[in-house]
């Protein structure tokens, strides 16, 4: 079946620290991969995406590379800010069936 596994949180970092949130997936076929961010009390916002192997998605200093050989899509940021505190969800989708599969989410808190 199709599934997404994320590293357990919560993650607490100091401002300007390096961030990695691990995400691996299991899929039958070739999915598109996404990172969504959810701030407290809000819906999900797309952070970045990659649609094929070796693609790198990037946005607001965040990056993730679609690694088919390791079935991974790890999220990284070189220097986090307090405003990056949120819950991050890794997700995959296939066009057929219009279904999105979400990981369990990783809560990030950045302290000044």
Partner 1 sequence: DTEVTQTPKHLVMGMTNKKSLKCEQHMGHRAMYWYKQKAKKPPELMFVYSYEKLSINESVPSRFSPECPNSSLLNLHLHALQPEDSALYLCASSTDRENTEAFFGQGTRLTVV
43: how many CB neighbours lie within 10 A of its CB? 7
Cα–Cα distance for residue pair 22/2, rounded to 1 Å: 17
Q: Give me the least distance between CB of 82 and partner 1, in Å please.
A: 21
**Residue from 5, 7, 44, 63 in contact with partner 1 (CB under 8 A):** 44
Cα–Cα distance for residue pair 79/6, rounded to 1 Å: 21
Q: Indicate the burial class of 102 (C-beta count within 10 angstroms; 0-12, 13-18, 19 or more).
A: middle
Give 42 or 112: the residue with its C-beta nearer to partner 1. 42
**Residue from 12, 51, 79, 81 in contact with partner 1 (CB under 8 A):** 51
**Rule CB under 8 A: is residue 1 a binding residue for partner 1?**
no
Binding region for partner 1 (CB under 8 A): 32, 34, 36, 41-46, 49, 51, 89, 93, 95, 97-100, 102-105, 107
């Amino acid at each position: 079946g199709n599934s997404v596994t994320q590293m357990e949180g919560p993650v607490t970092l100091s401002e300007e620290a390096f961030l990695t949130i691990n995400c691996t997936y299991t899929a039958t076929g070739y999915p598109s991969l996404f990172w969504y961010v959810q701030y407290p009390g809000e819906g999900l916002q797309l952070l970045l995406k990659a649609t094929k192997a070796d693609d790198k998605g990037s946005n607001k200093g965040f990056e993730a590379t679609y690694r088919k050989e390791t079935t991974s899509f790890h999220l990284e940021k070189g220097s986090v800010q307090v405003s990056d505190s949120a819950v991050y969800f890794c997700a995959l989708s296939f066009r057929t069936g219009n279904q999105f599969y979400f990981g369990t989410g990783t809560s990030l808190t950045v302290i000044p």
